[in-house]
Structures are given as structure tokens and as C-alpha cells.
């Protein structure tokens, strides 16, 4: 469902994404791991058609990100890292705006809201303006926004950042539940999250893919926890670059 071919993007002299390629199929949850500045967010922004790559391309649900960006955006749900939203709007007003854009109308809209609002536990803040919400609630509103149109592909940049442990657990359960019928890419710094929800993990550093494996295979290969694996791989890379 996602095919990434030789994506490359730089910002001035800094190469953020340096020729990454991978495929993700339906039913897979791919965890993108990497130290800060590894290029995870840039790669996700390119897939969500917010940034254009300098070279290379990707297809999502058969739509090319360069040729059909609007079709790509229709078929994916994207949660950005800092959960941007219109702060002066109420949660309800904001979700209705998303419905307008996504052409969810009439009874379908009511059903969608009835499904999504309790699923993301935002019932209690539905009439509150977004600027008054805590970080965790804002993230849940962002997640609701990404799930409104029941997309086949989900790209979630640090979906559990700022959530309390209960909410983290809920979101992970939600991801696991959706995983069977969707193709999900998440980026995270929380390695226990990778173990909990990801069927596959890619570790990237300095814009390049270092490892593409499953969390279990990695642990078996290195005979240590995922935490240690991550440190070993990314530190070796830093040392070799230095």
C-alpha cells in the first residue's frame, strides 16, 4: 500500500532524507525509529504530500505523491508531530470542518462523529476551544482528525507523545485494533511502544535506513533489549560518520 522509492530531500546543506526505500503492506504496523534529526518527520511529511522530495517518489494506495497529491491525501490519515489545529475553534467545529473538507455529509457525518469522538475519548471537551486543551487532549483531537474518513493508510508522527499512561495504552490498543485492515506507519521514541504495536521496525539515522526488521528478530539477533539495540545501532552509525 505504501511504496517508497529512493526518497531524497535536503534543506540547504543538511540532507534530511538520503535515498530511503521501503514498502509497507496492509496489516503491517511500521515503526520508524531514529534519533532526533534522523529524518523521520521529513519522510512522513513527504509521504503526506506536505513536502516535495528533491528526487525519488512514493505511491500510496496506488497514487503517486508527485502526480496525484490530492488523491494521496484523500486516502491517508496524517497526524503531524506538533498536532496543528485551529486553536480558536471548538473541537466540534474543528471536526466538522474536517468533515466538510473530506466530504463526509448528512447521516454519515453524524455516524462518523458518534464513532470517532468516544473512540478518541474527547466527548468531555467537544464544546471546548482547542487552545484551552492540554497537550494530551490536543493529540487526541489530532488523532480523531486523522481517523475521520476511515483511511486505508495512517501516518502518525509520535501519536502517544504527551498522553498519560492510560491514554497511551488506549491509543496502542486502538492502533492494534486498526492494524488488521490498514497500513500504519508510526514514528516514536518510545521503544516499548514499538514492541507493543509494531510488526516491523525501520531504524533511520542521518536520513538513511540502518535496519529494516521486526522487533523480535532484532532482539534475537543482538541478544538484548530493543533499547540497547537502538543505542548500539545508532551510536555505531554516529561513530562511523565521525
Partner 1 sequence: MNSFKAVFKRELKSYFTTPLAYVFLVIFLFFSGYLTFKQGFYEMRQADMSAFFQNLPLLFVFMVPSTAMRMWAEERKVGSIELLFTLPITITQAVLGKFLAAWLFLAIALALTFPMVITVVYLGDPDVGLIITGYLGSLLMAGGFLAIGCFFSAVSKNQVISFVLSVVACAILVFAGMPTTLNYFSTFLPAGLVSAIETMSFQKHFESIQKGVLKFGDLSYFVLLIVGWIAASSIILDERKAK
Binding site residues, partner 1, CB under 8 A = 45, 48-51, 70-71, 73-74, 78, 80, 82, 84-89, 93, 97-98, 100-103, 145
Interatomic CA distance for residues 93 and 235, integer angstroms: 46
Q: Which three cell numbers stand for residue 14?
A: 543538511
CB of 49 or CB of 117, closer to partner 1 = 49
Q: How far is the CB of 86 from partner 1 (least distance, A)?
A: 6
Could you tell me where the beta strands, DSSP code E, fall in 75-130?
76-79
Interatomic CA distance for residues 201 and 198, integer angstroms = 7
* Residue (49 or 147) nearer to partner 1, CB: 49
Nearest CB to partner 1, comparing residues 102 and 172: 102
SS3 37: coil
Nearer to partner 1, 52 or 55 (CB): 52
Amino acid at each position: 500500500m505504501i511504496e517508497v522509492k529512493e526518497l531524497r530531500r535536503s534543506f540547504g546543506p543538511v540532507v534530511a532524507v538520503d535515498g530511503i526505500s521501503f514498502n509497507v503492506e496492509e496489516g503491517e504496523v511500521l515503526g520508524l525509529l531514529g534519533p532526533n534529526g534522523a529524518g523521520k518527520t521529513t519522510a512522513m511529511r513527504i509521504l503526506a504530500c506536505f513536502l516535495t522530495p528533491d528526487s525519488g517518489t512514493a505511491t500510496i494506495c496506488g497514487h503517486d505523491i508527485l502526480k496525484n497529491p490530492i488523491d494521496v491525501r484523500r486516502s491517508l490519515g496524517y497526524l503531524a508531530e506538533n498536532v496543528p489545529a485551529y486553536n480558536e475553534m471548538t473541537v466540534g467545529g474543528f471536526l466538522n470542518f474536517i468533515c466538510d473538507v473530506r466530504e463526509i455529509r448528512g447521516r454519515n457525518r453524524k455516524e462518523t462523529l458518534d464513532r470517532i469522538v468516544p473512540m478518541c475519548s474527547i466527548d468531555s471537551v467537544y464544546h471546548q476551544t482547542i487552545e484551552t486543551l492540554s497537550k494530551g487532549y490536543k493529540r487526541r483531537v489530532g488523532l480523531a482528525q486523522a481517523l475521520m474518513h476511515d483511511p486505508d493508510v495512517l501516518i502518525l508522527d509520535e501519536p502517544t507523545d504527551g498522553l498519560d499512561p492510560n491514554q497511551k495504552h488506549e491509543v496502542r490498543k486502538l492502533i492494534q485494533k486498526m492494524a488488521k485492515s490498514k497500513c500504519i506507519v508510526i514514528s516514536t521514541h518510545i521503544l516499548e511502544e514499538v514492541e507493543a504495536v509494531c510488526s516491523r521496525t525501520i531504524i533511520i539515522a542521518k536520513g538513511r535506513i540502518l535496519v529494516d526488521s521486526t522487533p523480535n528478530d532484532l532482539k534475537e539477533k543482538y541478544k538484548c533489549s530493543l533499547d540497547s539495540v537502538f543505542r548500539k545501532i545508532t551510536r555505531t552509525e554516529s561513530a562511523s560518520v565521525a
